[in-house]
Amino acid sequence: MLITVAGVKKEVKDGLTVSQLIVDEKVETPMYVTVSVNDEFIASDSFESTVLKDGDSVEFLYFMGGGQ
């Protein structure tokens, strides 16, 4: 199936979960990543059970704090 990951179209296996995609994409600091699928945020406790579908668009986001 074909999905878009961070703006890049990729061919991936059917039944791929968000959790496995994080591993496959070698996401840095996966414990701090926020994932959106089709502009909807996915709760981190749902990564294992969220199965991606053909045509999905996935973004990995990191929220940084700081400043004064």
Residues 4-59 pLDDT 10s: 999 999 999 999 999 999 999 999 888 899 999 999 999 999 999 999 999 999 99
Residues 23-35 pLDDT 10s: 999 998 888 999 9
Say if residues 41 and 18 touch (Cβ distance below 8 Å). Answer: no
What letter would DSSP give residue 20?
H
Spell out the domain ranges in the chain.
Answer: 2-61
pTM assigned to the model = 0.89
* In this structure, CATH architecture of domain 2-61: Roll (3.10)
